[in-house]
Amino acid sequence: MGGTWNSQNKILPGAYLNFLTNEPLSITPGDRGTVVLLQEMSVGTEGEMYTITALDSSEYPKDVDAGDKLLVNEVLKGAKTAIVYNLGTARDAEAVATALAALKTVSFNTLAYPYDDVSDTAIKTSITAWIKTMRSDEGVKIQGVLANSVADD
């Protein structure tokens, strides 16, 4: 007789089976929504979006390197899907404004901008204003994650 049994009140005659399952995986893919990552990429076309999941990374551009994948891998530790918006090699205010315009029609939960140079202060301010506009005027409840930026309540 397999398994460990506690005393119980058997109601019907017959065999009572005790099933044991395997332990869950210690590392599981995230399951908490979609993150858009505004990222500089060394390959691919500026302005393209790549949808990446923990199980499917086929949408990456050809010859993508480990440095370009690093932030996406970190995002996928907590999110189900990462949408990478390719800012190209120069992340200027114009590229970010184009990205924000393109993202108006994309369904996501969180927008991440991981850069923190002195020149990025104006960009982070514009992203914050865009998120507030989307939340108040459009009714789209998204969040922003900006490097070294003070959180709003």
Supply the pTM of this predicted model. Answer: 0.77
> Which residues touch 100 (CB under 8 Å, ≥6 apart)?
126, 127, 130
**Choice between 71 and 10, residue whose per-residue pLDDT is larger:** 71
- Report the CATH number of the 34-146 domain: 3.30.1490.450
Strands 49-53 and 143-146: unpaired
Domain boundaries, the chain: 34-146
Q: What is the pLDDT of residues 52-106, one digit of tens each?
A: 998 888 888 888 888 889 999 999 998 999 999 999 887 889 999 999 999 999 9
